[in-house]
Structure 1
Amino acid sequence: MKYTKLERNWVMYDVGNSALVLLNTSVVPIYFDAINTGASSAELVTAWANAQTIASLVVALLMPILGSLADFTGNKIKFFLGFFLTGLVLCLAQAIPMGAMPFLIIYVLCTIGLNSSMTFYDAMLPDVTTDERMDSVSSSGYAWGYIGSCVPFMVCIALIMLGPSVLGLDMMVATRLSFVITGAWWLIFTLPLLRTYKQRFGKELAPGETPASEIAKTFRGLAATLKRIASDRALLIYMVAFFFYIDGVHTVISMSTTYGTSLGIDSTQLILALLVTQFVAFPSAIAYGKLAGTFGTLRMIMIAVFAYVCIVLFAAFFLRTATEFWILAIAVGMFQGGIQALSRSFFGKLIPKERANEYYGFFDIFGRYASVMGTLLVSVVTSLTGNPSLGVLSIGILLVVGFVLLVKLSSMRGVS
């Protein structure tokens, strides 16, 4: 598909932020393990799950309120820029040598900035394209994000692995430099969107209203939005289903490296396997966008959720070696981009465009609270049993609930 300039620049932000997402799911947990000396495998999984839970919870609490304010014309780009710059500065700050706990705090704050910026970025989708092109543009964002993120990632991995022998760099120093490289990449691929984005759909301030009165009205508006969502049966069922199934997706992504480390799998194998995930995810996300046009967006989401149920069962019962982690990484890559892209675009088709940010704020809170529930569930089950595999297995329940609700939604007339 030939993109417009604005569509292309919107996709480029996915290329930029995905580099940090990839670094966070691969190198950062291993680096945290290296500076968190003396911790057991169960303690490592618990600490990382708690960090993910806190970051997700903060974003979930902020986004409905800020999302509603951002729906006023001209505000969306301001909120996006503020959180992007926050995440960028804290990404660079992680390169400073520090202990495990200060690093974890900065990581959490950086993740809040990153994920919050992505909420406003998602809400730009109705502004940059049409309903007919939404599936393809959304899928392309994830697809190019996966493949584009590999460029700085490979540079960082080469620096970490070859730096000590070729450049005489200490491995920890090389790892810290990866934050600088990733931050620079994120900035470069964000600038085109900042230069060209214009908010097409938005609310206007009424005569005589002030920002303070708008904040008060925002709180009242949140209740009205909830009421509108509750009155739309198809939208309500989808959001509850999304709440459950996206939990499994986010938790598998955020915990995979930490889980692999707890099983004693070599860090090099973990990183290379996750790199393969990115390459597999690129054509898979593109294919999902095209298949949605043939078989229906909802049906393709259901296929991906069922696949994730199988992935979680495999991880809990069979994942023990590096070879099995490679199998898991490839399977995740086949469905990861598709389910995220189509979930975003399917939601965009169900909501009123002039209230996109407000609705996407609730969309994000459902996704973030799901992330809170998933990582918290892994943390609690792992702590109680001392067995990370049982923590992973517990996620399957949430995926099954989401799948059942999607089946119910698919039976409704006119929803595809």
Structure 2
Amino acid sequence: MEIQKERFKYTLSEKSWILQDWANSAYSIMVTTAVFPLFFKAVSEGSGVSAVNSTAYLGYANAIGTLVVSLLAPILGAVADYKGYRNPMFTLATGLGIIATLSFAFIPNENWLLLLILYAVSSIGYGAANIFYDASLVDSTTLNRMDRISSAGYGWGYIGSSIPFVIFIFFQLTGILPISQSALIKGGFVATALWWLVFTIPYWKNVEQKTYIEKQPHIIKNSFLRLWKTINNVRQYRNVFLFLIAYFFYIDGVGTIFQMATAIGSDIGLAANDLIVVMMVSQFVAFPSSIIYGILAGRFGNKKMIYVGIITYTFICIYALTLDSLLTFITLAVLVGTAQGGIQALSRSLFGQLIPKQHANEFFGFYNIFGKFAAVVGPLLVGIISQTTGNSLNGVFALIILFIIGGSVLYFVEEPAREKKIG
């Protein structure tokens, strides 16, 4: 019984690490998914941009922001391995994201292009900060607790992101504040930036860089040399390489659907208030679903449960073609909520089981590179197919190819024998 109690206790560094997910996930729901896409579409279409083009431009901005992070990720990760570098780089990236998000509130509504540029900048800060955040997991907990802490980060992140979102919805629906809709939304962006800042403080105080490489001359040059060595190391492990290819494709589809959901809902004629409420429902579904995925993985294995997520998303792509009402969109959002957190948490967990533990930092850095770079193809695919066919739902359906390829490659990944853990 005492052992069971210990399994659910968190150390100070573990709590602080989890709380950082609580902090930055507010950006994820308020900016990436729900409020900003609707706000951008409203101001851009109000300036004469068509609905299809506004969705496409948002997709291009997502792709550009993610591409920048993807190209920088290898060298950023390699440099951050040196003693004393990771935390300042995390702070710089986090500050960039927070300041850009705060800036949304001060851009005139008619200047939709500048708003879109700042959105791309904020996504670069957010994405880069998460590279260092994910890497710090190895310094925040022990190896045999990593799966549990990683999953807790995803789970509590959903709850943390929902709190400012729910407050925003309350003011949105009640109208008790004597301000315009635009002012309310901009106030929401300010609140998101402050939430991100305040709840990052425990991370800054309590998560230290314990694993590192001692400083050397020519840090940039040596970082590139180490990066090349890491790439060669990955190629020596067929199982790891196959997983990264599979992950590259299916996680791209997951991220794209998350980014573009509200824009697609707007295109089929749903009201902004309805879309915001639906996204809140999706967030609340995601919290218990992430926990359930972890429990079922303990019984059936990570790989099988990842397949459950892939199959769910494949169905979502097909079901998207039928979207024509609030009810169908709610169904789609709930389906996304059931699979999103689970497939992400278990992917990170399975990768941790596949890699050689003595090279965990290098391989997890490579994992982040694949995850960030993957999110380029999907948004571009949605944008191109949407503009070509004149229907954004066709763009979502096209994502099915990413899940089919990812699932097919995952079949050849051999899941390691399970180990009993008590701590």
Q: TM-score scaled to structure 2, two decimals? A: 0.92
Q: Does the CA contact (< 8 Å) of 1:241 and 1:401 recur in 2?
A: yes
- Kindly indicate whether the alpha-carbon contact (under 8 Å) linking 1:64 and 1:358 is maintained by their aligned counterparts in 2: no
Q: Which amino acid aligns with 2:185?
A: T
From 262, 271, 286, give the equivalent of 1:266: 271
Query: Any residues of structure 2 matched to 1:30-69 within 5 Å, and which?
Result: 30-36=38-44, 37=46, 38-69=48-79
Query: How far did residue 390 of structure 1 move?
Result: 1.5
Percentage of matched positions with identical amino acids? 40
In the TM superposition, residue 182 of structure 1 has moved relative to its aligned partner by 1.0
Instruction: Give the Cα separation in 2 of the matches to 1:130 and 1:287.
Output: 23
Alignment partner, residue 158 of structure 2: 146
Distance apart, 1:27 and its partner CA: 0.6
Aligned to 1:338: 342
Match of 1:393 in 2: 397
Q: CA deviation at 1:352?
A: 4.9
Deviates more, 1:49-58 or 1:374-383: 374-383
In structure 1, distance between residues paired with 2:86 and 2:348: 17
Tell me, yes or no, if the aligned pair for 2:354 and 2:416 is still in contact at 8 Å: no
Question: Any conservation in 1 of the 2:250–2:403 contact (CA below 8 Å)?
Answer: yes
Deviations 1:351-372 (A, max 9, x none): 4556555433322221222211
Matches within 5 A, 1:11-410: 11-24=18-31, 25-36=33-44, 37=46, 38-98=48-108, 99-163=111-175, 166-205=176-215, 209-210=216-217, 213-315=218-320, 317-352=321-356, 356-410=360-414
Residue 131 (structure 1) shift: 2.7
Which secondary structure does the structure 2 equivalent of 1:253 belong to?
helix
- In the alignment, is the contact (CA less than 8 A) between 1:202 and 1:355 conserved in 2? no
Looking at structure 2, the residues matched to 275 and 64 of structure 1 have their Cα atoms a distance apart, in angstroms, of: 34
Q: Residue deviations 1:381-400, cap 9 Å, x none?
A: 11211121211111001101
Deviation at residue 413 of structure 1 after TM alignment: 6.1
Asked if 2 retains the 8 angstrom alpha-carbon contact of 1:313 and 1:393, the reply is yes
Q: CA deviation at 1:167?
A: 2.3
Residue 111 of structure 1 aligns to a residue whose secondary structure is helix
Change in 2 beyond 3 A, CA 1:285/1:149: same
- Gaps spanning 5+ residues in structure 1: where? none
Q: Is the 2:127–2:372 Cα contact (8 Å) retained in structure 1?
A: no
Give 3-state SS (helix, strand or coil) of 2:411's partner. Answer: helix
Q: Is 2:16 the counterpart of 1:9?
A: yes
Shift of 1:415: 8.3
CA contact (8 A) 2:243 2:409 kept: yes
Deviates more, 1:44-53 or 1:125-134: 125-134
Does the 8 Å CA contact 2:41/2:55 hold for their aligned counterparts? no
Greater Cα offset, 252-261 or 343-352? 343-352
CA distance in 1, matches of 2:78, 2:363: 8
In 2, Cα distance between equivalents of 1:360 and 1:51: 26
C-alpha distance 377-387 of structure 1, shift in aligned 2 (>3 A): same
Q: Say whether the 8 Å CA contact 1:70–1:358 is kept in structure 2.
A: no
Structural RMSD (CA): 1.7
AA aligned to 1:127 is D
Instruction: Check conservation: 2:353, 2:416, Cα contact below 8 A.
Output: no
Give the paired residue count: 407
Distance 1:354 1:67, change over 3 A: farther
| 353 and 106 in structure 1: CA distance in 2 versus 1, 3 angstrom threshold | farther
Other structure's SS at 1:408 match: coil
Contact (CA 8 Å) 1:136, 1:290: kept in 2 or not? Answer: no
8 Å Cα contact 1:281/1:336 also seen in 2: yes
Answer whether contact 2:41 2:51 (CA < 8 A) is retained. Answer: no
Aligned to 2:174, the other structure's residue is in SS state: helix
Deviation at 1:214, TM superposition (A): 1.7
Are residues 299 and 343 of structure 1, via their aligned partners in 2, closer, same or farther at CA, if it must alter by over 3 Å? same
Q: 1:338 aligns to what SS in structure 2?
A: helix
Q: Distance in 2 between matches of 1:353 and 1:21?
A: 31
Q: Summarize deviations over 1:261-309 as a string: whole Å, max 9, x none.
A: 1111111111101000111111111222222222222222121111111
Check 1:153–1:413 CA distance in 2 against 1; reply closer, same or farther (3 A cut).
closer
Which runs of 5 or more structure 2 residues have no equivalent in the other structure?
1-7
Q: CA deviation at 1:342?
A: 1.6
